Amino acid sequence: MTAITSGGGRRLVDTVLRARELSILAALVVLVVVTTAVNSSFLSDQGVKDIFLNASILALLAVGQTMVVITRNIDLSVGSVVGLVAFASGKFVLGHDRNVLLVLILGMAIGAVCGLVNGVLVSFFRVPALVVTLGTLYVIQGADYYWAHGQQINAADVPGSLLELGSGSVLGIPYLPLITVVVMLAVGHYLRSYPSGREFYAIGSNPDAARLAGLAIRRRILTAYTTSGILAGLAGVLWLARFGTVVADAAHGWELRVVAAVVVGGVAIVGGLGSVYGAALGALLLTTIGSVLVVLKVNSFWQDAIAGLLLLLAISVDRLLGLRVTRALRRRNVRHGA
């Protein structure tokens, strides 16, 4: 009846839990070192800056998606929200010199509404998250296309102050990664260190137990979706700021890229496990691979294939490690227990 004494078992568990972020980091380092060895221009200021700029939007979306996935749900509508917001804020600034802050707020407000709809449907009506967000993916995308009607926003029409957000920097650090890192740290700290943050993990880990424990399940799920929506809205504005030229299907198909980044980053698709840091690292890794292929002059067509392989590798290794831990714990149970 006595249980596992601390020691080997605990260390093993700890290692595996942390291993995920560390192993992605290691993969990143190896990737960068090897690529730099082959082509030293890879690690140039511009090269590094490009990678971070490119990864920022994906990482931002991955942070929001993580909150949702941790509660054992999923948000497939983010790609559509990015597209809608990018186009809407483009329309909004068209020919006017709008305040950047105002544009950001508008974008995040649109995202919040989309997220709220998802959240209400999932938490109050208990409709499977995949189905709801697949539905809103279509609806939002359709509304966006209908509105755009083939139009596109051109960089020339976008005010310089907004474009500055996409390409400018403070103290040599570009705004985009800065925003992403700040958001990531804030969300990560909240999820790890605040009682309500831990409830997201609890809900995803065992929804029935969460209900019996009297946790505010609806509110947390609503929060997760709204956050994901707001961050998708933010990403939409940043998309416009970075690319200037926006057509309605900006970020089309990104929902699955975001989920891929999150899963590569070690967030369990069945909820309860993972961190926003891992998810952001996952996004960085996926983006870096893209750049590496360019630098190594590998046909860029390989990028998707490699990203897919990486995802499969990540979840398989996770699973195998998990099985080993379970086996190790099982042995300990027998040795120490009755």
Sites for another protein among residues 11-70 (CB under 8 A): 13-14
Out of 47, 83, 204, 290, point to the residue binding another protein (CB under 8 A): 204
Read off the amino acid at residue 175: Y
Is 256 a binder of another protein (CB under 8 A)? yes
**Pairing, β 152-153 against β 246-247:** antiparallel
Q: Compute the least distance from the CB of residue 232 to another protein, in Å.
A: 17
Out of 78, 104, 179, 221, point to the residue binding another protein (CB under 8 A): 221
> Binders of another protein among 158-187, rule CB under 8 A?
none
Read off the amino acid at residue 33: V
Out of 87, 145, 239, 277, point to the residue binding another protein (CB under 8 A): 145
Is 324 a binder of another protein (CB under 8 A)? no
Out of 99, 102, 296, 327, point to the residue binding another protein (CB under 8 A): 327
Q: What is the chain's alpha carbon radius of gyration, rounded to the nearest angstrom?
A: 21
Nearest-CA neighbor of 59 among 162, 188, 170, 172? 188
How far is residue 16's CA from residue 10's CA, in Å, rounded to a whole number? 10
**What number of helices (H) and strands (E) belong to the chain?**
13, 4
> Binders of another protein among 85-144, rule CB under 8 A?
121-132, 134-144
Is 326 a binder of another protein (CB under 8 A)? yes
14 or 164: CB nearest another protein: 14
CB-neighbour burial class of residue 319 (10 A; exposed 0-12, middle 13-18, buried 19+): exposed
Scored b (16 or more CB within 10 A) or e, 17-30 reads eeebbebbeebeee
> Binders of another protein among 291-310, rule CB under 8 A?
299, 301-309
Out of 199, 236, 238, 276, point to the residue binding another protein (CB under 8 A): 199
Out of 215, 240, 246, 280, point to the residue binding another protein (CB under 8 A): 215
Read off the amino acid at residue 206: N
How far is residue 267's CA from residue 17's CA, in Å, rounded to a whole number? 11
Residue with tokens 């570009």: 174
Stretch that binds another protein, among 24-32, 162-170, 177-185, 259-267 (CB under 8 A): 259-267
The per-residue DSSP string of 194-209 comes to SHHHHHHHHHHH-HHH
Q: Compute the least distance from the CB of residue 167 to another protein, in Å.
A: 28
Is 261 a binder of another protein (CB under 8 A)? no
36 or 205: CB nearest another protein: 205
